[in-house]
Amino acid sequence: MKKTEMRLQDAAIRQTNFKEVSLGYTKEEAIREATRCLNCKNPMCIKGCPVNIMIPKFIECIKNGNMEEAIKIINESSSLPAVCGRVCPQEKQCEKYCVKGFKGDAIAIGALERFCADWAIENNYESKVNIIDNNKRIAIIGSGPSGLSCAYELRMLGYDVTIYEALHKAGGVLTYGIPEFRLPKSIVQKEIEEIQNIGVKIITNVVVGKSISIDELKEKYDAIYLATGAGLPKLMDIKNINANGVYSANEILTRVNLMGAYKKESKTPIKIPKQVYVIGGGNVAFDAARVMKRLGSSVTIMYHRSEVELPARRDEIKHALEENINMEFLKNPKEILVDDDYSVKGLKYVNMVLLDEIDSSNRRCVKETDSYDTVECDMIILAIGTNINDLAFKDSMIKTTDRGLIQVEGTHTSDESVFAGGDNTTGAATVILACGAGVRAAKEIDEYLGGKNEK
């Protein structure tokens, strides 16, 4: 039996709206897909999952039509299934190890996870939790996936948890970064509400390190978890980088996702250019490209390696191609060309060649040639990665590595009551890895505070 493909919004129509692209499974489709699972004795898929969801077990429940039990099993390992079902790179994780995938299609684990999570939201399913307060107080800095996951786990263990968020809305990258058409904000809000419903407090508009210091927090809390992510955009050291029309992907995505620039009622101005070049090949590059396409621009992604090296999620690449996003490979920007107003009018790039060597990211290396060319454009978006933002802890004693990441053993920092995990210890990675770090931090904080870990 073949894999049940998820229905999508028509490519021609979705290019003009911000509604979700993937429509999810119906109950029948989910059961049909679940039936393909072999329920392996030694399930490799679980090992591929950063939070080790009991995958065959929940799929078995779907097969039997017992959705309530299915979501219960997922919730044992993940507090953000509706998010992760949508944004995890499953082809590199659980689905990569699925036995079915060795010959044919892997089970659509991500789609099934999403189905269960959406079922729970639609049916107002509330997991029954029995929390025994232990009156120990934890502060979590950052309300992105890592902070939320850690908060959920610690609250379940009875801790009094407060999350501090610098922006006016909770969710971190889920809110300001990943666009509506890939991750509806109503879904993010629902999952955040679930976490608040079990008693986690979220305080927005607090910039830890400025509004309140780590040392002040240490006086009020028994332990602190730094889940500050990697929010500082990398720029390129090329001529005219500050020209009008050169943006970080963070700025474009923040304007559109957080500030709602695509909505009529939003006050955030955004200029709609004719031709955009997005530099980079990760999920953020694809998100920025597809956002600008929906706002009405012609969009080209420029990546310095070749198509097979693209780090973005497989589905996003496929969906972007269907949406008429152009892609140019083995080209790297050299100079931004500007007009008399210091506004972007083009891009000079160098052609690259692939080498045989493989780098630490497991991709083939590239080298510049001596051949240059130019293209015309009126906006350039840089999506070449992010650095970590040390605003929260730069005035504290917490040590960092040569790369500027927080130095950790497990999730322990150099300060015994302060823990850290997610992008601020690894560099920019995925939502689910951040969730995994949050779960691990919760365990280690619980051990540190001497609580019994009953899980």
Map residue 304 onto helix, strand or coil.
Answer: coil
Q: Shortest Cβ distance from residue 174 to another protein (Å)? A: 14
State yes or no: residue 219 binds another protein (CB under 8 A).
no
State yes or no: residue 149 binds another protein (CB under 8 A).
no
Nearer to another protein, 92 or 271 (CB): 271
| Element of type H or E holding 214 | helix 214-220
State yes or no: residue 233 binds another protein (CB under 8 A).
yes
Six-digit token pair at 413? 């920092």
Q: Which span sits near another protein by CB under 8 A: 4-12, 46-54, 256-264, 299-307?
A: 256-264
Q: Identify the CA nearest to 325 among candidates 301, 303, 346.
A: 301
Q: Could you identify the residue written with the tokens 């140019």?
A: 328
State yes or no: residue 263 binds another protein (CB under 8 A).
yes
The only residue of 7, 210, 220, 455 in contact with another protein, by rule CB under 8 A: 210
Q: Which span sits near another protein by CB under 8 A: 24-32, 72-80, 252-260, 295-303?
A: 252-260
CA distance 269 to 262: 9
State yes or no: residue 11 binds another protein (CB under 8 A).
no
Q: Which span sits near another protein by CB under 8 A: 102-110, 205-213, 302-310, 417-425?
A: 205-213
Integer angstrom CA distances of residue 7 from 12, 321, 362, 375? 14, 17, 32, 36
State yes or no: residue 232 binds another protein (CB under 8 A).
yes
State yes or no: residue 292 binds another protein (CB under 8 A).
no
State yes or no: residue 175 binds another protein (CB under 8 A).
no
Q: How many residues make contact with another protein (CB under 8 A)?
A: 41
Which residues, including other chains, have CB under 8 Å from residue 64's CB and lie 6 or more apart? none
State yes or no: residue 220 binds another protein (CB under 8 A).
no
Q: Could you identify the residue written with the tokens 């393909």?
A: 36
Q: Shortest Cβ distance from residue 217 to another protein (Å)? A: 12
CA distance 107 to 95: 7
The only residue of 40, 167, 365, 375 in contact with another protein, by rule CB under 8 A: 167
The only residue of 204, 324, 361, 371 in contact with another protein, by rule CB under 8 A: 204
What angle do helix axes 109-122 and 27-35 make, rounded to 10 degrees? 150
298-303 and 326-329 beta bridge pairing: parallel
User: CA 80: distance to chain centroid?
Assistant: 12
Q: How many CA atoms lie within 13 A of 340 on its CB side?
A: 0
Which residues, including other chains, have CB under 8 Å from residue 362's CB and lie 6 or more apart? none
Stated length of the chain = 455
Q: Shortest Cβ distance from residue 259 to another protein (Å)? A: 7
Q: Identify the CA nearest to 289 among candidates 243, 245, 327.
A: 327
Q: Shortest Cβ distance from residue 269 to another protein (Å)? A: 4
State yes or no: residue 259 binds another protein (CB under 8 A).
yes
The only residue of 2, 41, 103, 267 in contact with another protein, by rule CB under 8 A: 267
**Helical H runs in 269-313?**
283-295
User: CA 306: distance to chain centroid?
Assistant: 23
Binding mask 325-364 for another protein (x = CB under 8 A): ----------------xx----------------------
Give residues in contact with another protein (CB under 8 A): 166-168, 176, 204-207, 210-213, 231-233, 235, 241-245, 247-248, 250-251, 254-255, 258-260, 263, 265-269, 271, 341-342, 389, 391
